[in-house]
Amino acid sequence: MNVVVFTGGVGGAKLADGLARALDADASLTIIVNTADDFELYGLHISPDLDTVMYTLAGIANPTTGWGIQGDTFQNFEMLERYGVAPWFRIGDRDMATHLLRTQMLRSGATLSQVTHTLASRLGVKPRILPMTNDRVRTVVDTDEGLYAFQEYFVKLRWQPEVRGLIYEGAEEAEPQPEALRAIETADTIIIAPSNLYLSIDPILAIPGMRDALLNASAPVIAVTPIIGGEAVKGPAAKLMRELGVESSAVAVAKHYADFLNGFVLDERDAHLEPHVAALGIGVLTTDTLMHDADSRARLACEVIGFADRLRPERLGGCRLGRPADEQAGTPRRPASLDHSPKL
Ligand code: FO1
Protein backbone atom coordinates (compact mmCIF):
# COMPACT_ATOMS: atom_id res chain seq x y z
CA MET A 1 0.00 0.00 0.00
CA ASN A 2 1.60 3.29 -1.12
CA VAL A 3 0.20 6.34 0.65
CA VAL A 4 0.97 9.96 -0.28
CA VAL A 5 -0.01 12.92 1.89
CA PHE A 6 0.16 16.62 0.97
CA THR A 7 0.84 18.80 3.99
CA GLY A 8 1.99 22.13 5.41
CA GLY A 9 1.80 23.58 8.88
CA VAL A 10 1.07 21.99 12.23
CA GLY A 11 -2.33 20.37 11.52
CA GLY A 12 -1.05 18.56 8.48
CA ALA A 13 1.98 17.26 10.34
CA LYS A 14 -0.34 15.68 12.94
CA LEU A 15 -2.17 13.65 10.31
CA ALA A 16 1.14 12.64 8.71
CA ASP A 17 2.19 11.43 12.17
CA GLY A 18 -1.10 9.53 12.54
CA LEU A 19 -0.50 7.83 9.19
CA ALA A 20 3.06 6.89 10.18
CA ARG A 21 1.64 5.29 13.36
CA ALA A 22 -1.39 3.62 11.78
CA LEU A 23 -0.11 2.20 8.51
CA ASP A 24 0.91 -1.46 8.15
CA ALA A 25 4.64 -2.03 8.37
CA ASP A 26 4.78 -2.94 4.67
CA ALA A 27 3.03 0.27 3.61
CA SER A 28 5.05 3.18 2.20
CA LEU A 29 4.30 6.75 3.27
CA THR A 30 5.48 9.73 1.21
CA ILE A 31 4.90 13.20 2.65
CA ILE A 32 4.90 16.06 0.12
CA VAL A 33 5.53 19.29 2.01
CA ASN A 34 4.94 22.98 1.27
CA THR A 35 8.16 25.01 1.13
CA ALA A 36 6.68 28.40 0.23
CA ASP A 37 6.94 29.41 3.93
CA ASP A 38 10.72 29.03 3.69
CA PHE A 39 12.82 32.10 4.33
CA GLU A 40 16.31 33.33 5.06
CA LEU A 41 17.14 34.73 8.50
CA TYR A 42 20.65 35.62 9.74
CA GLY A 43 21.85 34.09 6.44
CA LEU A 44 20.23 30.73 7.35
CA HIS A 45 17.74 28.88 5.15
CA ILE A 46 14.73 28.05 7.31
CA SER A 47 12.08 25.52 6.15
CA PRO A 48 9.34 25.66 8.81
CA ASP A 49 6.92 23.15 7.26
CA LEU A 50 9.64 20.59 6.49
CA ASP A 51 10.96 20.96 10.06
CA THR A 52 7.49 20.68 11.63
CA VAL A 53 6.87 17.39 9.80
CA MET A 54 10.36 16.08 10.55
CA TYR A 55 10.25 16.96 14.26
CA THR A 56 6.67 15.67 14.63
CA LEU A 57 7.50 12.29 13.06
CA ALA A 58 10.72 12.11 15.09
CA GLY A 59 8.59 12.65 18.21
CA ILE A 60 10.55 15.75 19.27
CA ALA A 61 8.19 18.57 18.18
CA ASN A 62 7.09 21.10 20.77
CA PRO A 63 3.60 19.73 21.60
CA THR A 64 2.19 23.14 22.53
CA THR A 65 3.21 25.15 19.48
CA GLY A 66 3.61 22.27 17.02
CA TRP A 67 6.77 23.90 15.67
CA GLY A 68 10.31 23.94 17.06
CA ILE A 69 11.75 21.31 19.39
CA GLN A 70 10.25 20.20 22.70
CA GLY A 71 12.23 21.47 25.70
CA ASP A 72 14.40 23.69 23.51
CA THR A 73 16.25 26.62 25.14
CA PHE A 74 16.61 30.13 23.78
CA GLN A 75 20.07 31.27 24.99
CA ASN A 76 21.10 32.24 21.46
CA PHE A 77 17.84 34.16 21.07
CA GLU A 78 18.41 35.96 24.39
CA MET A 79 21.96 36.93 23.37
CA LEU A 80 20.59 38.38 20.14
CA GLU A 81 18.19 40.45 22.25
CA ARG A 82 21.15 41.55 24.41
CA TYR A 83 22.74 42.87 21.22
CA GLY A 84 19.61 44.91 20.70
CA VAL A 85 18.34 42.70 17.89
CA ALA A 86 14.59 42.29 18.38
CA PRO A 87 14.02 38.93 16.67
CA TRP A 88 10.29 38.26 16.17
CA PHE A 89 10.99 34.74 14.87
CA ARG A 90 11.97 32.59 17.85
CA ILE A 91 14.63 30.00 16.95
CA GLY A 92 15.57 27.61 19.73
CA ASP A 93 19.15 26.50 20.34
CA ARG A 94 18.52 22.89 19.20
CA ASP A 95 16.38 24.06 16.27
CA MET A 96 19.32 26.26 15.24
CA ALA A 97 21.36 23.12 14.48
CA THR A 98 18.87 22.19 11.76
CA HIS A 99 19.13 25.57 10.09
CA LEU A 100 22.94 25.63 10.35
CA LEU A 101 23.31 22.16 8.78
CA ARG A 102 20.66 22.75 6.12
CA THR A 103 22.30 26.03 5.10
CA GLN A 104 25.77 24.48 4.99
CA MET A 105 24.57 21.51 2.89
CA LEU A 106 22.65 23.75 0.49
CA ARG A 107 25.74 25.96 0.10
CA SER A 108 27.81 22.90 -0.80
CA GLY A 109 25.36 22.07 -3.61
CA ALA A 110 22.94 19.62 -2.01
CA THR A 111 19.29 19.92 -3.05
CA LEU A 112 16.62 20.67 -0.46
CA SER A 113 15.42 17.07 -0.93
CA GLN A 114 18.87 15.66 -0.18
CA VAL A 115 19.20 17.89 2.88
CA THR A 116 15.77 16.85 4.14
CA HIS A 117 16.51 13.17 3.58
CA THR A 118 19.80 13.43 5.48
CA LEU A 119 18.38 15.33 8.46
CA ALA A 120 15.20 13.23 8.72
CA SER A 121 17.00 9.88 8.49
CA ARG A 122 19.48 11.00 11.15
CA LEU A 123 16.48 11.71 13.39
CA GLY A 124 15.27 8.17 12.70
CA VAL A 125 12.27 9.26 10.62
CA LYS A 126 11.21 6.37 8.33
CA PRO A 127 8.56 7.92 6.00
CA ARG A 128 9.92 9.83 3.01
CA ILE A 129 9.64 13.60 3.49
CA LEU A 130 9.80 15.45 0.15
CA PRO A 131 9.79 19.20 -0.44
CA MET A 132 7.24 20.04 -3.16
CA THR A 133 10.15 21.36 -5.25
CA ASN A 134 13.89 21.93 -4.88
CA ASP A 135 13.44 25.39 -6.37
CA ARG A 136 12.72 28.67 -4.60
CA VAL A 137 9.00 29.40 -4.17
CA ARG A 138 7.82 32.04 -1.67
CA THR A 139 4.29 32.95 -0.59
CA VAL A 140 3.83 36.72 -0.69
CA VAL A 141 0.73 38.05 1.08
CA ASP A 142 -1.02 41.01 -0.58
CA THR A 143 -2.78 42.90 2.23
CA ASP A 144 -4.57 46.21 2.75
CA GLU A 145 -1.21 47.45 4.17
CA GLY A 146 0.77 46.25 1.13
CA LEU A 147 2.82 43.15 0.32
CA TYR A 148 4.36 41.06 3.12
CA ALA A 149 6.71 38.09 3.00
CA PHE A 150 4.94 35.11 4.50
CA GLN A 151 6.67 34.86 7.89
CA GLU A 152 6.31 38.62 8.45
CA TYR A 153 2.55 38.32 7.85
CA PHE A 154 2.16 35.08 9.78
CA VAL A 155 4.50 35.54 12.76
CA LYS A 156 5.47 39.21 13.11
CA LEU A 157 2.00 40.55 12.31
CA ARG A 158 0.22 37.47 13.70
CA TRP A 159 -1.83 37.23 10.45
CA GLN A 160 -3.88 40.33 11.38
CA PRO A 161 -3.57 42.40 8.16
CA GLU A 162 -6.54 42.01 5.83
CA VAL A 163 -5.57 39.83 2.85
CA ARG A 164 -6.46 40.76 -0.71
CA GLY A 165 -4.59 37.97 -2.45
CA LEU A 166 -1.71 35.50 -2.34
CA ILE A 167 1.23 35.28 -4.72
CA TYR A 168 3.32 32.08 -4.92
CA GLU A 169 6.45 33.76 -6.19
CA GLY A 170 8.54 31.43 -8.39
CA ALA A 171 5.89 28.69 -8.56
CA GLU A 172 5.47 28.86 -12.36
CA GLU A 173 9.20 28.39 -12.95
CA ALA A 174 9.60 25.69 -10.30
CA GLU A 175 10.13 22.02 -11.13
CA PRO A 176 7.96 19.61 -9.12
CA GLN A 177 10.11 17.28 -7.03
CA PRO A 178 10.44 14.26 -9.39
CA GLU A 179 10.05 11.62 -6.66
CA ALA A 180 6.86 13.37 -5.56
CA LEU A 181 5.33 13.07 -9.03
CA ARG A 182 6.26 9.38 -9.20
CA ALA A 183 4.83 8.81 -5.71
CA ILE A 184 1.51 10.31 -6.85
CA GLU A 185 1.47 8.19 -10.00
CA THR A 186 2.11 4.95 -8.08
CA ALA A 187 0.00 5.76 -5.01
CA ASP A 188 -2.87 3.59 -3.80
CA THR A 189 -4.16 6.43 -1.58
CA ILE A 190 -3.58 10.19 -1.78
CA ILE A 191 -4.51 12.42 1.14
CA ILE A 192 -4.72 16.22 1.37
CA ALA A 193 -4.03 16.85 5.08
CA PRO A 194 -6.12 19.32 7.16
CA SER A 195 -3.69 22.13 6.28
CA ASN A 196 -4.45 25.70 5.26
CA LEU A 197 -5.85 25.47 1.73
CA TYR A 198 -4.30 28.81 0.60
CA LEU A 199 -1.05 28.85 2.58
CA SER A 200 -0.05 25.17 2.62
CA ILE A 201 -1.82 23.23 -0.15
CA ASP A 202 -2.30 25.77 -2.97
CA PRO A 203 1.46 26.56 -3.13
CA ILE A 204 2.06 22.84 -3.81
CA LEU A 205 -0.71 22.75 -6.43
CA ALA A 206 0.74 25.89 -8.05
CA ILE A 207 3.86 23.96 -9.07
CA PRO A 208 3.39 22.98 -12.74
CA GLY A 209 2.50 19.28 -13.00
CA MET A 210 1.26 18.79 -9.44
CA ARG A 211 -2.44 19.42 -10.04
CA ASP A 212 -2.37 17.37 -13.27
CA ALA A 213 -0.72 14.52 -11.37
CA LEU A 214 -3.68 14.52 -8.96
CA LEU A 215 -6.21 14.78 -11.80
CA ASN A 216 -4.61 11.78 -13.56
CA ALA A 217 -3.97 9.75 -10.41
CA SER A 218 -5.65 6.33 -10.37
CA ALA A 219 -5.65 6.42 -6.56
CA PRO A 220 -8.59 7.94 -4.70
CA VAL A 221 -7.76 11.47 -3.48
CA ILE A 222 -9.18 12.30 -0.03
CA ALA A 223 -9.06 15.67 1.73
CA VAL A 224 -9.54 16.12 5.47
CA THR A 225 -11.31 19.33 6.41
CA PRO A 226 -9.21 22.07 8.08
CA ILE A 227 -12.47 23.92 8.89
CA ILE A 228 -14.93 22.90 11.62
CA GLY A 229 -18.07 24.89 12.32
CA GLY A 230 -16.86 27.64 9.99
CA GLU A 231 -13.63 28.13 11.93
CA ALA A 232 -10.08 26.89 11.49
CA VAL A 233 -8.78 24.41 14.05
CA LYS A 234 -5.64 26.58 14.14
CA GLY A 235 -4.41 29.57 12.14
CA PRO A 236 -5.86 31.99 9.59
CA ALA A 237 -7.68 29.63 7.16
CA ALA A 238 -11.24 30.79 7.95
CA LYS A 239 -10.17 34.48 8.20
CA LEU A 240 -8.46 34.19 4.80
CA MET A 241 -11.54 32.56 3.23
CA ARG A 242 -13.73 35.43 4.43
CA GLU A 243 -11.20 38.06 3.31
CA LEU A 244 -10.99 36.41 -0.11
CA GLY A 245 -14.79 36.45 -0.38
CA VAL A 246 -15.27 32.71 0.15
CA GLU A 247 -17.73 31.24 2.67
CA SER A 248 -15.63 29.90 5.56
CA SER A 249 -17.13 26.40 5.58
CA ALA A 250 -15.98 22.83 5.07
CA VAL A 251 -18.14 22.73 1.91
CA ALA A 252 -16.13 25.62 0.44
CA VAL A 253 -12.94 23.66 1.12
CA ALA A 254 -14.38 20.60 -0.68
CA LYS A 255 -15.34 22.88 -3.60
CA HIS A 256 -11.81 24.32 -3.63
CA TYR A 257 -10.39 20.83 -4.27
CA ALA A 258 -13.42 19.41 -6.12
CA ASP A 259 -11.83 18.92 -9.54
CA PHE A 260 -9.45 16.23 -8.25
CA LEU A 261 -11.23 15.01 -5.10
CA ASN A 262 -12.88 11.59 -4.66
CA GLY A 263 -13.58 11.83 -0.94
CA PHE A 264 -13.90 14.47 1.76
CA VAL A 265 -13.63 13.94 5.51
CA LEU A 266 -16.13 16.19 7.28
CA ASP A 267 -16.03 16.78 11.02
CA GLU A 268 -19.00 15.30 12.88
CA ARG A 269 -19.87 18.82 14.14
CA ASP A 270 -20.63 19.64 10.48
CA ALA A 271 -22.61 16.45 9.75
CA HIS A 272 -25.50 18.58 8.44
CA LEU A 273 -23.24 19.65 5.55
CA GLU A 274 -22.90 16.09 4.20
CA PRO A 275 -25.51 16.49 1.41
CA HIS A 276 -23.81 19.67 0.20
CA VAL A 277 -20.47 17.89 -0.16
CA ALA A 278 -22.06 14.79 -1.70
CA ALA A 279 -23.82 17.09 -4.19
CA LEU A 280 -20.33 17.91 -5.54
CA GLY A 281 -20.01 14.25 -6.59
CA ILE A 282 -17.57 13.62 -3.77
CA GLY A 283 -17.79 10.75 -1.28
CA VAL A 284 -18.17 11.90 2.33
CA LEU A 285 -16.92 10.41 5.58
CA THR A 286 -18.15 12.18 8.72
CA THR A 287 -16.10 11.64 11.87
CA ASP A 288 -14.28 13.39 14.72
CA THR A 289 -11.38 15.08 12.91
CA LEU A 290 -9.83 16.70 16.00
CA MET A 291 -6.39 15.27 16.83
CA HIS A 292 -5.47 15.95 20.47
CA ASP A 293 -2.97 13.11 20.94
CA ALA A 294 -1.15 10.26 19.24
CA ASP A 295 -4.13 7.89 19.49
CA SER A 296 -6.59 10.32 17.91
CA ARG A 297 -4.07 11.06 15.15
CA ALA A 298 -3.72 7.33 14.41
CA ARG A 299 -7.47 6.72 14.65
CA LEU A 300 -8.27 9.50 12.15
CA ALA A 301 -5.51 8.27 9.85
CA CYS A 302 -6.93 4.76 10.01
CA GLU A 303 -10.44 5.98 9.19
CA VAL A 304 -9.12 7.93 6.20
CA ILE A 305 -7.25 4.83 4.95
CA GLY A 306 -10.43 2.76 5.41
CA PHE A 307 -12.47 5.42 3.57
CA ALA A 308 -10.02 5.41 0.65
CA ASP A 309 -10.17 1.61 0.61
CA ARG A 310 -13.88 1.77 -0.03
CA LEU A 311 -13.48 4.30 -2.83
CA ARG A 312 -11.11 1.99 -4.73
CA PRO A 313 -12.25 -1.23 -6.51
CA GLU A 314 -9.62 -3.42 -4.87
CA ARG A 315 -9.44 -3.71 -1.08
CA LEU A 316 -5.92 -3.12 0.20
CA GLY A 317 -6.61 -2.67 3.91
CA GLY A 318 -3.46 -0.91 5.12
CA CYS A 319 -4.28 0.08 8.68
CA ARG A 320 -2.60 -1.98 11.40
CA LEU A 321 -5.01 -0.74 14.06
CA GLY A 322 -7.55 -3.32 12.95
CA ARG A 323 -10.89 -2.36 11.41
CA PRO A 324 -11.30 1.45 11.44
CA ALA A 325 -14.10 2.53 13.75
CA ASP A 326 -16.21 4.03 10.98
CA GLU A 327 -16.50 0.68 9.16
CA GLN A 328 -18.41 -0.65 12.13
CA ALA A 329 -20.60 2.45 11.83
CA GLY A 330 -21.57 1.54 8.26
CA THR A 331 -19.99 2.84 5.09
CA PRO A 332 -19.74 6.54 4.25
CA ARG A 333 -22.07 8.18 1.71
CA ARG A 334 -20.77 7.46 -1.77
CA PRO A 335 -22.67 8.99 -4.67
CA ALA A 336 -23.45 6.35 -7.33
CA SER A 337 -21.90 8.65 -9.91
CA LEU A 338 -18.52 8.37 -8.23
CA ASP A 339 -15.98 6.21 -9.93
CA HIS A 340 -12.27 6.17 -9.29
CA SER A 341 -11.19 6.28 -12.95
CA PRO A 342 -8.89 9.20 -13.85
CA LYS A 343 -10.87 12.40 -13.54
CA LEU A 344 -11.84 13.91 -16.89
N1 FO1 B 1 5.62 30.62 14.53
C2 FO1 B 1 5.31 31.66 15.37
O3 FO1 B 1 4.13 32.02 15.46
N4 FO1 B 1 6.28 32.30 16.09
C5 FO1 B 1 7.58 31.96 16.02
O6 FO1 B 1 8.42 32.58 16.67
C7 FO1 B 1 7.94 30.85 15.19
C8 FO1 B 1 9.26 30.38 15.11
C9 FO1 B 1 9.53 29.25 14.33
C10 FO1 B 1 10.82 28.73 14.28
C11 FO1 B 1 11.10 27.63 13.47
C12 FO1 B 1 10.09 27.04 12.73
O13 FO1 B 1 10.36 25.95 11.97
C14 FO1 B 1 8.78 27.53 12.79
C15 FO1 B 1 8.50 28.64 13.58
N16 FO1 B 1 7.20 29.16 13.64
C17 FO1 B 1 6.91 30.22 14.46
C18 FO1 B 1 6.09 28.54 12.92
C19 FO1 B 1 6.05 28.92 11.46
O20 FO1 B 1 5.96 30.28 11.23
C21 FO1 B 1 4.83 28.18 10.88
O22 FO1 B 1 4.90 26.87 11.33
C23 FO1 B 1 4.80 27.98 9.39
O24 FO1 B 1 5.55 28.81 8.67
C25 FO1 B 1 3.33 28.04 8.99
O26 FO1 B 1 2.85 26.79 8.97
Measured from CB, residues less than 6 Å from any atom of ligand 1 are 8-9, 37, 48-49, 51-52, 67-68, 89-91, 95, 151, 154-155
The lowest-confidence range among 44-48, 191-195, 313-317 is 313-317
pLDDT at 328: 43
Q: Which residues contact 191 (CB under 8 A, 6 or more apart)?
A: 3, 4, 5, 6, 15, 19, 221, 222, 223, 224, 304, 308
The model's pLDDT over 62-79, given as tens digits with 9 standing for 90+, comes to 999 999 999 999 999 999
203/43 Cα distance (integer angstroms): 24
Among 256, 259, 219, smallest CA distance to 344 is for: 259
Express as a percent the part of the chain with pLDDT over 90: 89
Expressed in angstroms and rounded, the spacing between residue 47 Cα and the centre of ligand 1 is 9
The model's pLDDT over 21-36, given as tens digits with 9 standing for 90+, comes to 999 999 999 999 999 9
Measured CA to CA in angstroms, residue 187 lies from 27, 290, 332 at distances of 11, 26, 22
Residue 322 banded pLDDT, cuts 50, 70, 90: low
pLDDT at 320: 84
Ligand 1: atom nearest CA of 90 is: 6
Q: Return the best residue to mutate from 94, 101, 155, 157 for the ligand 1 pocket (most ligand atoms within 8 A of CB).
A: 155
For 184, the 3-state DSSP assignment is helix
pTM: 0.94
Ligand 1: atom nearest CA of 92 is: 10
Q: Return the best residue to mutate from 42, 49, 80, 89 for the ligand 1 pocket (most ligand atoms within 8 A of CB).
A: 89
Q: Which domains does the chain have, with CATH numbers?
A: 1-65+103-136+177-344 (3.40.50.10680)
Cα end-to-end span (Å), the chain? 25
pLDDT at 87: 87
Residue 86 banded pLDDT, cuts 50, 70, 90: confident
333 pLDDT above the threshold of 90: no
pLDDT at 304: 98
Question: What sign results for the dihedral spanned by CA atoms 327, 328, 333, 335?
Answer: positive
Expressed in angstroms and rounded, the spacing between residue 95 Cα and the centre of ligand 1 is 11
Q: Work out the average pLDDT over 208-226.
A: 98
The lowest-confidence range among 72-76, 139-143, 313-317 is 313-317
265 pLDDT above the threshold of 50: yes
**Cβ atoms of 119 and 102 closer than 8 Å:** yes
Ligand 1: atom nearest CA of 46 is: 13
pLDDT at 323: 52
Residue whose CA is closest, atom 25 of ligand 1?
Answer: 9
pLDDT at 317: 87
The model's pLDDT over 155-177, given as tens digits with 9 standing for 90+, comes to 999 999 999 999 999 999 999 99
For 223, the 3-state DSSP assignment is strand
Ligand 1: atom nearest CA of 88 is: 6
pLDDT at 205: 98
